[in-house]
Structure 1
Amino acid sequence: MIFNYYSKLKQLLQQDNHDLDLATNDQFIRIIPNEKKWENDQWKEYIQNVDFQYMDRNQVLSQLKKNFDPSLRSIIYPWIANKTVPSPIDYKLFAQNPCAQDNIIFRDIERTHSHLQFYKSKRKSSKKHVQRASQQLDSVKSIIDEKLLNDFFSLNQRRLFYLLRAYANQDPSIGYVQGMNYIMGLLLFLLDDSNSLFSGEMKAYQMFLFINVKMNWSQTYNKSMKKLKSMVQHVEVLLQQNLPDVYKVICNLDQPFIFFMDQYFFGLMSYKTPLEFSAKILDIFIIQGEQIIFDVLLRVFTLNRNEIKQLYDKDEQTQFIKEILPMSIEKFGIQALIPNSEIII
């Protein structure tokens, strides 16, 4: 009966010359704008003629959710950042000066997007070498210089180190916090320019400033964690309202709720996730903000609802929920977690 109703609705919409399509599944009935994917020239024309601050957000968001040419990020992201964030003219100075978190950054570089060839280490045993070097640095309070970085890291790992150090120096009230490495690392990979390494770094750095300053994401990392706590509480409310049985399971575990959720906000869902997924999340995030994280998490827990309820051992439940995002991507696919539609009725 319900499908007959929506078939009739679709006919009426089409008669009224609305360019809409209809999709259904077991959880949602959605009206989807049937807009064709923009080609490269259309993107370039839009960026040249429309100021980012006055764009049609729904239209751009709809296009970002489609499979567009990855090379377009090198013009889309600067279009977003250039209009809202001043050019980081002091980047080189910030990158060269040591910062208080140099040792922490040094440790984290090795694990950052290590599945990408772009960030492969120079040595197979690099992880042990890095740990040993880091311990030595702690004991003698040495300064991390170019020679030390050359000994342990590949070119792109060194570039990432300097990017993270620069931000830590530019915003000492926040400094460097674990999770930033995954966002900055993703930006550098997506915006890298083989013809000008420095140009790629500047694009990544400016976009990172856009996220942290213009989008106020730096408040996720501050000592009070006020923004992080607020977002985690919102996830709690979503689960309470939509999946009370799952929420009850999580509450009965021996860990605070934030223990399971902080990784998704600190690294924008790019930790232990495939590149296609993390890049798409980033694309949507820069337009929609943290709403995409809420949407994906609700879908992830909905899809795994029955399996979570069937686990009775607390250790198994804890491990399952801690790894639920990468497992869900592998099990259900990216398309099931990131919906293409915006209007749900």
Structure 2
Amino acid sequence: MFCCLGRKKRDNEMEKKNCKKEMVERFILQNCKSNEDDSLNESLDESNMIIINDVNNQHKQKPWSGIQWQMIIQTKSLNQIELDEIKSNIRFGILQNLRPATWFWITDIKNTQMIKHSSNIYQKLKSCESQYDQQIFKCIKQMDKKYNDLVFDILRAYANYDVEIGFVKGIEQIVEYLIQQLDPEQYKNLDYSYNQFNRMCDYYEQMVFWMTIHILFNLNYRRILKQNVSFIETDKFKNTLMPQIKCLIEQLQVKISDLIETPLLFYFWKQLKKEDFNRLFDVFLFEGESILLQILLKFLKISEELVCQFQTLADLKIFLNQTLIPFGISKIEKSNQKLMNFIL
């Protein structure tokens, strides 16, 4: 009898746990519903159309509406849609209340990362002490206290997961940004059940962890952060530099990576407005570092004349790391272009 009662109790606990998970997953998809203020205009004019390269010809296609995004996320996998079509729709822009569900879908972490491991691996990883605990604790002291415990748990889990690297400075910025963007509290007014949560629920916490894995492994940021490897030094990038800028760098006898002081993800994070960086990050999640390199080239091109006037290494570094993006944006605005149209 006691055995039956124990089994019944475990079954009830499992049922509650599954119900909570289903509620969270339902919440993600429910919040794909477009607010009237946020929804994309169905009657877009010619200038707002996205140009997609077809096999035989080019045709114009309207970007997906909020409802279309919702249906695609619910019913399609990434490999069921043409790559160019996904890319162009992400570049057009993702609605704020669509962001959690869309990020989970375009990174495909359920079918790439999570499927490789047991369902409770994250809980095990964060519950084990890490040799980096003290380093992590010191690193997050300057962060928003609201997220400190959560950031610590995710960073500890990552340190235990990635035995080769463990923890390096920069990972905490990625984790904090993901938490801020995915925090259910900012969406709780859209679903009454989320009023009961005081912090990110277990499901979202795990999703932030796996998205961190995606960025660091799939998008190669663990290599960039640990080894200070920059794709700016690739021949492909250097060969596409403007001749005058390339000549200036050679005269100063420096590497391009010596001029840009931070990884490009943080570089744009620092210099772009929040809403513009969020849109750029949407594209980065899908396309990786290549999109950041393309954008850097665009800003160097638009500022080429000024860049080539610098005579000293110190002055050039200050301009590139503090002023290049704002200066480029001012030139874009003067020409009445939209920033994100120019960037993407």
TM-score (norm 2): 0.67
User: What does residue 7 of structure 1 align with?
Assistant: none
User: What does residue 83 of structure 1 align with?
Assistant: 111
Distance 2:135 2:328 in 1: 30
User: Structure 1 residue 185 and structure 2 residue 176: aligned?
Assistant: yes
User: Structure 1 residue 95 and structure 2 residue 126: aligned?
Assistant: yes
User: What does residue 59 of structure 1 align with?
Assistant: 85
Correspondences of 1:138-287 after superposition (within 5 Å) = 154-194=145-185, 195=194, 196=197, 197-198=200-201, 199-223=203-227, 228-229=229-230, 231-234=231-234, 237-253=236-252, 256-261=255-260, 263-265=262-264, 267=266, 269-287=268-286
Amino acid at match of 2:132: Q
Assess, with a 3 A threshold, how the Cα gap between structure 1 residues 62 and 166 changes in structure 2: closer, same or farther: same
**How far is 1:324 from its partner?**
4.3
The number of residues matched between the two structures is: 271
Amino acid at match of 1:92: Q
Give 1:109's match in structure 2, choosing from 140, 145, 157.
Answer: 140
Distance 2:274 2:164 in 1: 31
Q: Does the Cα contact within 8 Å between 1:296 and 1:337 map onto a contact in 2?
A: no
Q: Does the Cα contact within 8 Å between 1:105 and 1:176 map onto a contact in 2?
A: yes
Which structure dedicates a bigger proportion of its chain to helix?
Answer: 2
Distance 2:256 2:140 in 1: 28
Assess, with a 3 A threshold, how the Cα gap between structure 1 residues 42 and 56 changes in structure 2: closer, same or farther: same
- After TM superposition, the structure 1 stretch with the greater mean CA deviation from structure 2, 260-269 or 181-190, is 260-269
Assess, with a 3 A threshold, how the Cα gap between structure 1 residues 263 and 310 changes in structure 2: closer, same or farther: same
Distance 1:215 1:250 in 2: 28
Q: Does the Cα contact within 8 Å between 1:269 and 1:278 map onto a contact in 2?
A: yes
Amino acid at match of 2:175: M
**How far is 1:302 from its partner?**
0.7
TM-score (norm 1): 0.67
Q: Secondary structure at the match of 2:166?
A: coil
Question: 1:148-204: per-residue Cα shift (whole Å, max 9, x none)?
Answer: xxxxxx121332222222211211211122222222222111211123512332221
Q: What stretches of structure 1 move > 6 A for 4+ residues in a row?
A: 19-23
Assess, with a 3 A threshold, how the Cα gap between structure 1 residues 73 and 211 changes in structure 2: closer, same or farther: same
**How far is 1:111 from its partner?**
5.3
Give 2:71's match in structure 1, choosing from 30, 35, 45.
Answer: 45
Q: Does the Cα contact within 8 Å between 2:252 and 2:313 map onto a contact in 1?
A: yes
Amino acid at match of 1:177: V
**How far is 1:222 from its partner?**
4.1
Q: Secondary structure at the match of 2:147?
A: helix
Question: 1:7-45: per-residue Cα shift (whole Å, max 9, x none)?
Answer: xxxxxxxxxxxx98699xxxxxxx986432322211111
Question: 1:92-143: per-residue Cα shift (whole Å, max 9, x none)?
Answer: 332243333334433433556xxxxxx3xxxxxxxxxxxxxxxxxxxxxxxx
Correspondences of 1:128-147 after superposition (within 5 Å) = none
User: What does residue 288 of structure 2 align with?
Assistant: 289
Distance 1:163 1:295 in 2: 31
Structure 1: where are the runs of 5+ without partners? 1-18, 24-30, 113-118, 120-153
Distance 2:298 2:91 in 1: 16
Distance 1:241 1:213 in 2: 27
RCO greater where, 1 or 2, for CA within 8 Å and sep 6 or more?
Answer: 1
- After TM superposition, the structure 1 stretch with the greater mean CA deviation from structure 2, 55-64 or 322-331, is 322-331
Assess, with a 3 A threshold, how the Cα gap between structure 1 residues 215 and 309 changes in structure 2: closer, same or farther: closer
Q: Secondary structure at the match of 1:99?
A: coil
Amino acid at match of 1:218: R
Kindly, what percent of the aligned residue pairs are identical?
19
